[in-house]
Amino acid sequence: MQLAKYEHACFVVEKDGCHLIVDPGEFTTDLTIPESVSVVVITHQHPDHFDTTLLDEIIDDNPQLIILAPAGVTRQLKGYETKTVKGGDSVVIGGFELDFYGDTHATIVPGGDSIDNIGVLIEDRIYYGGDALVVPEKSVDTLAIPAAAPWLKVSETIEFLKAISPRFVFPTHDAILSGSGKSIYDHWLAAAADEVGARYQRLDEQTIDID
């Protein structure tokens, strides 16, 4: 498999010629849309993860794809090919094996409205929790870790990383940070990864092999 990281919360996984895109949102301006996209996973309805304009561009090149998302997203996508998923679901679709975790977005403002959110484990290897810190029941090889968000403290991110204890970690959800801000979070997350024997690496506009 190969993994390509794009701005903010978007990344693409390729397996045997099939591509899966996670969270193509409005903060992702650099996405190179691949051919043979079979699946798009959207973790929740916030526009930095879910942008119908970008989604339509992906579908124009890949009309056969299916969108997997929680109910808060799929009910907005009338006329699209969708499948509603929730925490606890396991799906084999478009050449990918996917397990889903959690059901609710992390709290931003106490007492505020909660929305649907799902985390996804791809091929028992790559895990991304969306906007929540739900630890999956399975072991994780590669962790996409949120670096900064209105709902998040770096201490919580570090605890999440240590609880999962993956082999490899890359940051995501960081379009709200400046270059200097990213370096600060990289420092803390790299140190936490080192404590559990994981390798931390920023993957901005890079493609890597997932062995």
Amino acid letter for position 11: F
Q: Do residues 119 and 150 make contact, with C-beta atoms less than 8 angstroms apart?
A: no
pLDDT of residue 142: 98
Residues 6+ away with beta carbon under 8 Å from 33: 57, 58, 61, 62
pLDDT in tens, the chain (211 residues): 999 999 999 999 999 999 999 999 999 999 999 989 999 999 999 999 999 999 999 999 999 999 999 999 999 999 999 999 999 999 999 999 999 999 999 999 888 778 999 999 999 999 999 999 999 999 999 999 999 999 999 999 999 999 999 999 999 999 999 999 999 999 999 999 999 999 999 998 789 999 7
pLDDT of residue 205: 77
- In order of 44, 76, 109, 179, the CA distances from 33 in angstroms are 21, 23, 35, 25
Quote the strand ranges of the chain, DSSP E: 2-5, 11-15, 18-22, 37-41, 66-69, 82-84, 90-93, 96-101, 119-122, 126-128, 142-146, 168-172, 199-200, 207-209
33-90 pLDDT tens trace: 998 999 999 999 999 999 999 999 999 999 999 999 999 999 999 999 999 999 999 9
Domains assigned to the chain = 2-209 (3.60.15.10)
Q: What angle do CA 10, 126, 155 make, to 5 degrees?
A: 80
Which candidate, 24, 12, 7, 20, places its Cα nearest to that of 173?
A: 7
Q: What angle do CA 50, 99, 128 make, to 5 degrees?
A: 50
pLDDT of residue 68: 98
pLDDT of residue 28: 97
pTM: 0.96
Residue 58 Cα to chain centre, angstroms: 17
Q: Do residues 60 and 3 make contact, with C-beta atoms less than 8 angstroms apart?
A: no
pLDDT of residue 114: 87
